Amino acid sequence: MLTMWIIVAIGAFLIEIFTLGNLICIWFIFGALASALLAWLKIQAIWQYITFFVVSIVSMLIIRPLAHNYLRGNIVPTNSDRLIGQNATLTKEIAEESWGELIKGGVTWSCVSVDNQPIAKGTNVKIVAIEGAKLIVKKID
Find the CATH number of the domain harbouring 104: 2.40.50.140
Please check whether residues 31 and 58 belong to one and the same domain: yes
Mean pLDDT for the chain overall: 88
CA nearest to 129, candidates 29, 40, 109: 109
Q: Quote the pTM value.
A: 0.52
For residue 44, what pLDDT is reported?
96
Which phi and psi (to 5°) does residue 52 adopt? Answer: -55, -50
For residue 101, what pLDDT is reported?
95
Q: How many domains does the chain have?
A: 2
**What mean pLDDT do residues 86-103 have?**
92
Domain that holds residue 33: 2-72
pLDDT in tens, 20-59: 767 788 899 999 999 999 999 999 999 999 999 999 999 9
- Give the C-alpha separation, 113 to 128, whole Å: 9
For residue 73, what pLDDT is reported?
59
Please check whether residues 101 and 53 belong to one and the same domain: no
Which of 54, 72, 90 marks a domain boundary? 72
